[in-house]
Structure 1
Amino acid sequence: MSPELEIFRRKPTGPRLCSHPIVFIHGAFTGAWCWNEHFLTYFADKGFETISFSLRGHGGSGGRNVRSLASIDDYVEDLETVVDTLGQKPILVGHSMGGYVVQKYLEKHPARAAILMASVPPEGLLATNAMMAMSQPDLFLQMFWLQAIGPHTLLRDRLGRAMLSSDIASDEGMIYFGRLETESHRALMDMAGTNPVFLSPTDLPPMLVIGAKRDEIVPSELVHRTAVRYDADCLLLDHIAHAMMLDTHWKKAADSILGWMKKNLADKDDKAEDKDAA
């Protein structure tokens, strides 16, 4: 049984652009708060119902005392719990680890669309960690210490610059950094290979894979590889870092996602879908 989850919702503030709500799934070390800074309101203002929630053990959700034991399947169960309250197939937006959760969810459930942002690739973290260890050994070591001790002041400079652009990393970005928390050891092991993704491109909803060209945590080549694996649309953005929803140029990512949704999730598609269901 899922613990009580922290959930945030925004209704469309103008004409509804799409009948399917957007559900945002956060990455490792964070919580629903990372979407609440900009994305939840931005997409509500554009005509979407928006929902963000904290995975068990994160943010204000229950289960903090057993967070280290939470699996990726547990996180998928949390997403199922939220989707079950909607009455509509969701548009899923998953960042980093949240993108991996989305992929695992899609193994068994339909969705109106899926957007993977700087996502852990379907093969998991092994390639990501190997590339980081070879090209950015100092960052690899700091990621290890983040998991071991949490967001310590000594980690802020290098790790902060990997997560956020330099013009925010030393300013309000440090406030964001201080809100990070350690991740479930079991979930990290799942993404290291103990719970791989088995997802066929033929069974997928419309999908966008979006990343940052100079992302040091999930390199752009892995973003592109994920898009090829799923035969999905791919966008790589300049002048933005890994934590795209919090970055100085967050609106560039939001605008790109909105443009893709307007092109691929037109109202006529929703009406046709509703007619078929009837």
Structure 2
Amino acid sequence: MNGPEAVAGLGIDDVTEHYAGIVRSLDRPPVLIGHSFGGLIAQKLLGVGLGRAAVAIDPAQIKGVKALPPAQLRAGFPVLGNPANRRRAVSLTAAQFRYGFGNALEETESDDLYERLTIPSPGRPLFEAAFANFARRSPAAVATGNADRGPLLLISGQADHTVPDVVTRSAYKLYGDSSAVTELKQFPDRGHSLVVDHGWRTVAEYALRWLSEQGIQGRDTSQV
């Protein structure tokens, strides 16, 4: 099956288990880096001991986060506004992308990113995260109390509409009972596009420095 229907209906657990299988197949635990729902999934994997460390960038809200800013409601409405989208793959319009992803950019850069990068994605994960606090066993739950996991860096863009800074800060506080390394880095005036827009290198270099401080060095694989 090809096209949007190939991912329609996939949820957080489906994607998490897919990547868990990849991690288990590796010779050594990897560093997990994810953005938005990828950041949530990176936290889930790290929480169960799959991964040496994790960097979660503008991560989708995990179970236990109660903050619900108006900007996040507006950014999520194109998907959450129609319950049928739970079973669909959904894309955004250019205007919706500008509000949710490119609000900290010039309109021309936002529109360029939209044209080059936007693809339909499953709506189900948004519903699972949005209603996580009403579900006894939610796919958006993370083992925040695990003291034996590797280091975790949470990164937020303070201009983000899709995952506002307060959401990431709230997630950070949920790790308070764990003695494992957990740190928060906030980037002023950066939106949800911070990993793909003109300022991506600043975010990447900070993550690499942080990993180095945890004793994790990158390898040049260009000649491998």
Same fold (TM over 0.5): yes
Partner of 1:183: 121
Partner of 1:159: 97
Residues 251 and 145 of structure 1, relative CA distance in 2, 3 Å threshold: farther
Task: Name structure 1 gaps, 5 residues minimum.
Answer: 1-56, 268-278
Q: CA RMSD in A?
A: 3.0
Partner of 2:57: 117
Q: Which amino acid aligns with 2:20?
A: E
**Distance between the aligned counterparts of 1:144 and 1:186, measured in 2?**
9
**Distance between the aligned counterparts of 1:257 and 1:141, measured in 2?**
31
Partner of 1:197: 141
**Distance between the aligned counterparts of 1:111 and 1:87, measured in 2?**
12
Partner of 1:174: 111
Q: Matched residue of 2:121: which SS?
A: coil
**Is the CA contact (8 Å cut-off) linking 2:103 and 2:191 kept in structure 1?**
yes
- 1:252 pairs with 2:190: no
**Distance between the aligned counterparts of 1:123 and 1:112, measured in 2?**
23
- 1:81 pairs with 2:21: yes
Give 1:208 shift: 0.6
Partner of 2:151: 206
**Is the CA contact (8 Å cut-off) linking 2:8 and 2:121 kept in structure 1?**
yes
Give 1:169 shift: 3.9
Residues 168 and 79 of structure 1, relative CA distance in 2, 3 Å threshold: farther
Residues 136 and 89 of structure 1, relative CA distance in 2, 3 Å threshold: closer
**Is the CA contact (8 Å cut-off) linking 1:89 and 1:111 kept in structure 2?**
yes
**Distance between the aligned counterparts of 1:149 and 1:95, measured in 2?**
19
**Structure-1-length-normalised TM-score:** 0.61
- 1:97 pairs with 2:47: no
Give 1:253 shift: 0.8
Task: Name structure 2 gaps, 5 residues minimum.
Answer: 133-137, 177-181, 218-224
Judge which range, 223-232 or 143-152, deviates more: 143-152
- 1:240 pairs with 2:190: yes
| Greater share of helix | 1
Partner of 2:179: none
Give 1:158 shift: 4.8
Q: Matched residue of 1:170: which SS?
A: helix
Q: Matched residue of 1:203: which SS?
A: coil
For residues 113-144 of structure 1, the C-alpha deviation after alignment (integer angstroms, 9 at most, x for no partner) is 111100013227x846x423xx5765444455
**Distance between the aligned counterparts of 1:242 and 1:236, measured in 2?**
12
**Is the CA contact (8 Å cut-off) linking 2:48 and 2:149 kept in structure 1?**
no
Q: Matched residue of 2:28: which SS?
A: coil
**Structure-2-length-normalised TM-score:** 0.74
Q: Which amino acid aligns with 2:210?
A: W
The alignment-based identity, stated in percent, is 19
**Distance between the aligned counterparts of 1:203 and 1:251, measured in 2?**
31
